Chain A
Amino acid sequence: MKGAILKVTENVANPIINFLEKGLDKKCFDAVLIPVKVPVGNSFAWVLIQNKSLLEDANPLPPVMPVQGAKALSSITRMGKTNKKIAAIMRPCEVRAAVELSKLEQVNLENIFLISIDCPGVLPLKDYLERPEEAMDKFNEILLGACPERSRRAQNDIEWGNESTRPACQVCDKFVGTDLGFCQSDLHIGILGTKDKNIFLIPNNEKGKSILNKMDIEAEKSMDNWEKKAKELMEVRKKKKKEVQERLKFKVMGIDNLLDVFSNCINCHNCRSACPICYCRQCYFESEKMKLPSDDYLMRAKSKGALRFLPDTLLFHLGRMTHMSLSCVGCGACEDACPMSIDVAQIFSFVADNSQGLFNYIPGKNAEEPLSLRIYKEDEFHEVET
């Protein structure tokens, strides 16, 4: 694997911002889609930037993910390709969701230049919003965990995905935006093992290479070190994921467990609104179809003695799984948005891992690979037939 090395000035974000500025100057792209600090500085929002000066408050690696990046990209390209060339700088799970959405025709990737970045995880939105400044410090410490020499906790090699990040991030094994992480960005930015002195620009394809060329950046340096680090961490995560899912099983498997887990659910459907894959303008579970005559509800109540109201909480969650779990990227956005702190993302990505495994399908890995439900083989799944 080959890439280019950029010097870190001040902080990790700086060379990236400079790089983007240069890209705008050289007309490699006309606009940048990037998280920017909101006016009072207590959160981040996606901003499509044309005017370079706005990049000042941009942060390619914010400590939280208030809106999943693929959703932001979809909001501007859902109705067709952009005429402007846009560089979108996102976390790997956001890139993967964007690729899934392109298959679902909710994102148009033409003229979009996808840049991914090594992801240290993000903090739960609630934790961050309570104390933004403290959270920011904590996040920086995590970030620098990849660069042991600068870390205040220098002895510990890697802090990424530690307990203060979201549960989804703690077990994410696809945190890099190259083939290694099954992610198909055009250009990946590496920070693992950079000792906080450099960052790595790793082109994933011709598009990535040509942009670097245009900017007179040569990508000929060996990236072996970075690759080694990434693989190491990936192994750690895979193990952790297995453990966590093993525990989760006992919590969610079986109807009683499921009912318990969702007993606090208030049917606000924030989880589905925040999910990048749930793109439907009108969700089936909010449609007329779900609004039944009163007799129907009374009958159901009588047959059981009592009917939770609204009913059909599990129908919603299980139904949503059947609709989107093949494309769930495990980003954790649903859990962040849940006012009742239900482990939605953990449950959904656990189920998703299994259903994706059936087809050996990894969402976001390859834009050309068809969605599993759009194709079939004549000779398959005989085990489910009787």
Chain B
Amino acid sequence: MNEKFVPRIVGFLCNWCSYAGADLAGVSRLQMPPSLRAIRVMCSSRVNPLFIIRVFLIGADGVLVAGCHPGDCHYQKGNYQARRKFAILKNIFESLGLESDRLRLSWISAGEGPRFAKVITEFTEKIKELGPNPAKEKVFL
């Protein structure tokens, strides 16, 4: 494994929870790898699967979708819907032999700074095991 490899993870973070969770992790100065590029969305259900596909094919080493815990979505059912879409996308990735481990869905509330740091750390470790996303270098996409 390439020790110098710092994964780039694109995170679609729900404004009402995980984004705040990330903030909290930051201000609490919790330790985590500098791998995340955060994109704020208004709800996990705003994440069109096409966003994930595009980011993956552009070469993100990992894609995280994070939202409110089930039952806590500010739009009541957004995250349930998001979970279905995510499950389908993951299934499609598996059907096509694409590395579905590069995709992750996590529920992180605004108060869960430590959980946020843990998710990022874990996911980063996982991606390090997988190595860089081969899509990065592909010319024919």
Verify if A254 is at the interface (C-beta below 8 Å from B): no
Q: Does B75 contact A (CB under 8 A)?
A: no
| Chain B residues with CB below 8 A from A47, complex form | 139-140
Interface string of A72-115 (1 = CB under 8 A from B): 00000000000000000000000000000000000000000000
Q: How distant is the Cα of A38 from the Cα of B141 in the complex, in angstroms?
A: 11
CB interface residues, A 152-169, toward B, < 8 Å: none
A40-76 Cβ-contact flags toward B at 8 Å (1 or 0): 0000010100000010000000000000000000000
Minimum CB distance partner of A49 in chain B: B139
Main secondary structure of the interface of A (DSSP, over half): mixed
Tell me the smallest distance from the CB of B124 to a CB of chain A, in Å.
Answer: 30
A54 contacts which chain B residues (CB < 8 A)?
139
Q: Smallest Cβ distance from B5 to chain A, in angstroms?
A: 22
Which residues of chain A come closer than 8 Å to B140, judged between CB atoms? 38-39, 45, 47
> What 1/0 mask marks residues of chain A from 20 to 46 whose CB sits below 8 Å from any chain B CB?
000000000000000000110000010
Closest residue on chain B to residue A48 by CB atoms: B139
Taken together as a complex, chains A and B put the C-alpha atoms of A47 and B140 apart, in Å, by: 8
Number of A residues whose C-beta is below 8 Å from B? Answer: 5
Contact with A along B126-138 (1 / 0, CB 8 A): 0000000000000
Shortest CB-to-CB span from A364 to chain B, Å, is 29
**A39: B residues at CB distance < 8 A:** 140
Return the chain B residue nearest A57 by Cβ. Answer: B139
Rounded to whole Å, the gap between the CB of A52 and the closest CB of chain B is 13
Min CB distance A190 to B, Å, is 30
Instruction: Give Cα distance in the complex from A39 to B139, angstroms.
Output: 10
Distance from A360 Cβ to chain B, minimum over Cβ atoms (Å)? 43
* Complex alpha-carbon distance, A38 and B138, angstroms: 12
Query: For residues 105 through 141 of chain B, which have their beta carbon under 8 Å from a beta carbon of chain A?
Result: 139-140
- With A and B bound together, what is the CA distance between A40 and B139 in angstroms? 13
Query: Which residues of B17-59 have CB atoms within 8 Å of chain A's CB atoms?
Result: none
Complex CA gap A33/B60 in Å reads 26
- Smallest beta-carbon distance A80→chain B, Å: 21
Residue of B nearest to A47 (CB): B139
B3 → chain A closest CB, angstroms: 26
**Which chain A residues in 258-307 approach chain B with CB under 8 Å?**
none
Residues of the A chain whose Cβ atoms lie less than 8 Å from the Cβ of B139: 47, 54
**Least CB distance, A10 to chain B, in whole angstroms:** 24
B residues within 8 A CB of A38? 140
A54 to B139, CA, bound (A): 9
Q: Could you tell me the distance between the alpha carbons of A210 and B77 in the complex, rounded to whole angstroms?
A: 64
Kindly state the separation between the CA atoms of A39 and B134 in the bound complex, as whole angstroms: 15
Closest to A39 in B: B140
Closest 6 CB pairs of A and B: A39-B140, A47-B139, A38-B140, A54-B139, A45-B140, A47-B140
Residues on B lying within 8 angstroms of A by beta carbon are 139-140
Can you show 6 pairs from A to B with CB atoms below 8 A apart?
A38-B140, A39-B140, A45-B140, A47-B139, A47-B140, A54-B139
